[in-house]
């Protein structure tokens, strides 16, 4: 029976989503309860599998036959190895806390039945990625995650910005997914398998070369989309238009880390090419810094955290490129705790300020919402990698891996400096000083269902570094005292607090004005000109071609020619015998003249 446990864990949220959407939609309280209980069941099941399993053992579920075309076979199977079991606990655990938080956050929303149905669909899709035992199965759930995130980001249908953000996320991810498809096909072509368990043995006979590099980079394209890495990172900040619980779920341990999880699964293929690994490491390294700089000039509290997520995911991507997937998974786990906490705390501040998201229209929240302020500080300390909280231990393992790569070490540590800067800026402006709006003056803590998940996440944000994630996945923590990167990264992170405190401790308006950061390095504008505007120009050209050439010349022109020919024939068919006789005689004379000319008669 336990062999089929992954199927039960996976299907519970799907049954919940279907039941709510088709039968329970008019009953929001029942819908909310069913979705939460289903997620609880998945979490308890995943936790049971994690406890019963061993770090070395696997508990894969039986494979269901699916497609067989000659030598090409694709089955539907689920993995139960240590990596899948650990990831399933993280995903379902975070999802459960978001469910509980959403009960209070959306208590008065008339569409909460639809929200919880879509939330259940998202959990089902993400667990499918986690448990998938081959690339084809993973890709199916990969697309389902894209669909469910599209629905959740655009949940508030009366907001045009939410619809635009959902469309942007969906379309940008299609670009990355196209590359991912090519990578999946290339993997089959080179190694003759889609199974993750077979990749390690099959790659040993690979000839290497540019083909392997191309396949590895194509697989990486899937990560660029889902995990929002450059140049496909532009969708993630806009996804903040969705409800805050959605932001927390997407950014903490689900959609945006799916790309990192996929890279770890296909690492045997990626590791065949040093070019591929170096590309992954440097894109990750540069993306630790780029969003951290942009966040320094953002005013929306959720967008600040969104750019922070881009930076933290980049640390994980860089770790994979450096060949230390255990460190990436370790940081993925701790990041799930403190980033989910920070988003829920931001949602609490927004909820308490009556839906205000601009930090310059908050202020004084530390006195009115002391619990939210406290957990925000704890989450910030973890995010910035300050000891002894969880983020310190996981980040230091990544910094240790950069010890022999000075360029990556410098870039990623600079990102740590700016992370400390913009997080303290956010805290001082939003929670310090005096209220700067009516909403802030009447701010208040949320309900118990909002506070309880934040308390649990705060505990894990502090103590999560003690979890044996790395050793469970077959690795061992680095000797931190032996790493020079430990001390440098710590000093740099602490140094970031100094200018933030200097500029923002008494600020009532933005004292710094760096338009290039506020405009996000003009990447969106570049895409607007190069891609959107050029596409619109091609569309207008195609419309003109269709109007003038197709409709004007081909369709209407052929009609005019046919009409003119008909009119000419009409003149010939006049109905007079004399005219017909004259034409006949003229024809005979012309024919005789041609015969005589051809026959040589002069």
Query: Quick one: average pLDDT of 453-482?
Result: 71
**Half-sphere exposure of residue 246, counting CA atoms within 13 Å on the CB side?**
29
| Nearby residues of 455 by Cβ (< 8 Å), 6 or more positions away | 375
**Sign of CA pseudo-dihedral 465, 466, 469, 475:** positive
- Tens-digit pLDDT profile for residues 289-339: 999 999 999 999 999 999 999 999 999 999 999 999 989 999 999 999 999
Residue 206 and residue 187: Cα distance in Å, rounded? Answer: 11
Residues in the chain: 602
What is residue 56's predicted lDDT score, i.e. its pLDDT?
56
What is residue 482's predicted lDDT score, i.e. its pLDDT?
45
What is residue 451's predicted lDDT score, i.e. its pLDDT?
93
Tokens of 52: 């019963």
What is residue 105's predicted lDDT score, i.e. its pLDDT?
87
- Tens-digit pLDDT profile for residues 13-32: 999 999 999 999 899 999 99
Tokens of 143: 């697309």
**Does 274 or 59 have the greater pLDDT score?**
274
What is residue 378's predicted lDDT score, i.e. its pLDDT?
95
What is the Rg, in whole angstroms, of the alpha carbon atoms belonging to the chain?
31
Position 448 pLDDT exceeds 70: yes
Query: Quick one: average pLDDT of 346-355?
Result: 90
Least confident piece of the model among 238-242, 355-359, 550-554: 550-554
Residue 299 main-chain phi, psi, to 5 deg:
-110, -20
**Does 582 or 85 have the greater pLDDT score?**
85
Taking alpha carbons only, the member of 181, 190, 197 closest to residue 212 is 190
Please tell me whether the peptide bond between 388 and the residue prior to it is cis, using omega within 30 degrees of 0.
yes
**Does 541 or 116 have the greater pLDDT score?**
116
**Sign of CA pseudo-dihedral 112, 338, 330, 460:** negative
What is residue 481's predicted lDDT score, i.e. its pLDDT?
44
What is residue 561's predicted lDDT score, i.e. its pLDDT?
79
What is residue 205's predicted lDDT score, i.e. its pLDDT?
73
Residue 195 and residue 27: Cα distance in Å, rounded? Answer: 42
**Does 512 or 574 have the greater pLDDT score?**
512
Query: Quick one: average pLDDT of 474-502?
Result: 75
Position 1 pLDDT exceeds 60: no
pLDDT band at 571 (very low <50, low <70, confident <90, very high): low
Q: How many helices (H) and strands (E) does the chain have?
A: 29, 2
**Does 574 or 525 have the greater pLDDT score?**
525
Residue 86 and residue 51: Cα distance in Å, rounded? Answer: 10
pLDDT band at 554 (very low <50, low <70, confident <90, very high): low
Position 238 pLDDT exceeds 60: yes
Residue 212 and residue 302: Cα distance in Å, rounded? Answer: 40
What is residue 533's predicted lDDT score, i.e. its pLDDT?
75
Taking alpha carbons only, the member of 326, 313, 198, 327 closest to residue 260 is 313
Percent of the chain with pLDDT over 90: 51
Lookup result for tokens 């990192």: 260
Lookup result for tokens 């931001």: 346
Angle at alpha carbon of residue 502, lines to 497 and 506, rounded to 5°: 115
**DSSP string spanning 496-560?**
THHHHHHHHSS-SS-S---HHHHTGGGHHHHHIIIIIIHHHHHHHHHHHHIIIIIIIIIIIIHHH
Give the DSSP H or E segment for 512: none
**How does 281-305 read in b/e, with b if 16+ C-beta sit within 10 Å?**
bbbbbbbbbbbbbbbbbbeebbbbb
Helix (H/G/I), strand (E/B), else coil: 193 = coil
**How high does pLDDT run on average in the chain?**
87
Report the phi/psi class of residue 463: left, alpha or beta, with left for phi > 0 and alpha for psi in -120 to 50: alpha
Position 602 pLDDT exceeds 70: no
Residue 585 main-chain phi, psi, to 5 deg:
-65, -40
Tokens of 529: 């000109």
Q: Are 69 and 155 in contact (CB under 8 A)?
A: no
For the chain, the farthest-separated pair of C-alpha atoms sits apart, in whole angstroms, at 119
Tokens of 194: 């889609």
Position 593 pLDDT exceeds 80: yes
Position 53 pLDDT exceeds 80: no
- Tens-digit pLDDT profile for residues 61-112: 777 777 776 666 677 888 888 888 889 999 999 999 999 999 988 888 888 9
Residue 414 and residue 408: Cα distance in Å, rounded? Answer: 10
- Tens-digit pLDDT profile for residues 116-148: 999 999 999 999 999 998 899 999 999 999 999
Residue 310 and residue 172: Cα distance in Å, rounded? Answer: 15
Residue 543 and residue 528: Cα distance in Å, rounded? Answer: 20
Query: Quick one: average pLDDT of 246-271?
Result: 85
């Amino acid at each position: 029976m336990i062999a089929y446990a992954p199927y039960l864990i996976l299907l519970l949220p799907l049954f919940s989503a279907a039941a709510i959407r088709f039968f329970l939609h008019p009953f929001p309280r029942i819908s909310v309860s069913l979705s939460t209980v289903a997620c609880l069941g998945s979490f308890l099941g995943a936790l049971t599998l994690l406890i019963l399993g061993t770090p070395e053992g696997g508990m894969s579920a039986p494979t269901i036959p699916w497609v067989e075309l000659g030598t090409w076979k694709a089955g539907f199977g689920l993995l139960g190895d240590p990596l899948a079991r650990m990831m399933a606990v993280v995903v379902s655990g975070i999802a459960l806390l978001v469910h509980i938080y959403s009960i209070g956050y959306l208590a008065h929303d008339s569409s909460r039945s639809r929200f919880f149905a879509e939330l259940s669909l998202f959990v089902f899709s993400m667990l499918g990625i986690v448990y998938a035992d081959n690339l084809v199965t993973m890709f199916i759930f990969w697309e389902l995650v894209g669909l469910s995130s599209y629905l959740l980001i655009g949940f508030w249908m009366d907001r045009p910005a939410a619809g635009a953000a959902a469309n942007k996320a969906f379309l940008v991810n299609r670009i990355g997914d196209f590359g991912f498809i090519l990578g999946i096909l290339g993997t089959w072509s080179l190694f003759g398998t889609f199974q993750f368990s077979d990749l390690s043995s099959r790659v040993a006979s690979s000839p290497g070369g540019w083909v392997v590099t191309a396949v590895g980079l194509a697989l990486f394209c899937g990560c660029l989309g889902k995990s929002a890495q450059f140049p496909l990172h532009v969708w993630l900040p806009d996804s903040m238009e969705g409800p805050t619980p959605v932001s927390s779920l997407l950014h903490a341990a689900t959609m945006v880390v799916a790309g990192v999880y996929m890279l770890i699964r296909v690492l045997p293929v990626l590791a065949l090419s040093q070019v591929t690994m170096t590309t992954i490491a440097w894109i990750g390294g540069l993306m630790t810094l780029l969003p951290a700089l942009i966040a320094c000039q953002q005013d929306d509290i959720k967008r600040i955290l969104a750019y922070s997520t881009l930076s933290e995911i980049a640390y994980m991507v860089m770790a994979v490129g450096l060949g230390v997937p255990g460190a990436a998974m370790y940081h993925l786990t701790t990041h799930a705790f403190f980033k989910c906490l920070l988003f829920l705390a931001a949602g609490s501040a927004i909820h308490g300020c009556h839906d205000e998201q601009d930090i310059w229209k908050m202020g004084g929240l530390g006195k009115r919402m002391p619990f939210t302020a406290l957990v925000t500080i704890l989450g910030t300390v973890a995010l910035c990698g300050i000891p002894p909280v969880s983020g310190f231990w996981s980040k230091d393992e990544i910094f240790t891996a950069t010890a022999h790569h000075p360029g990556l070490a410098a870039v990623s540590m600079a990102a740590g400096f700016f992370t400390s800067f913009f997080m303290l800026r956010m805290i001082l402006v939003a929670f310090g000083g005096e209220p700067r709006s009516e909403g802030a003056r009447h701010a208040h803590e949320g309900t118990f269902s909002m506070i309880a998940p934040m308390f649990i996440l705060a505990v894990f944000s502090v103590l999560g570094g003690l979890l044996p994630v790395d050793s469970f996945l077959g690795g061992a923590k680095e000797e931190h005292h032996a790493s020079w990167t430990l001390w440098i990264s710590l000093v740099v992170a602490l140094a970031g607090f100094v200018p933030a405190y200097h500029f923002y401790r008494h600020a009532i308006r933005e004292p710094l004005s760096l338009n290039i950061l506020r405009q996000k390095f003009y990447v969106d504008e570049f895409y607007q000109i190069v891609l959107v505007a050029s596409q619109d120009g091609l569309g207008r050209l195609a419309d003109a071609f269709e109007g003038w050439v197709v409709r004007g010349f081909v369709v209407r022109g052929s009609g005019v020619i046919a009409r003119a020919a008909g009119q000419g024939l009409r003149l010939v068919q006049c109905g007079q015998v004399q005219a017909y006789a004259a034409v006949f005689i003229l024809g005979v004379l012309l024919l005789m003249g041609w015969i005589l000319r051809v026959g040589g008669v002069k």
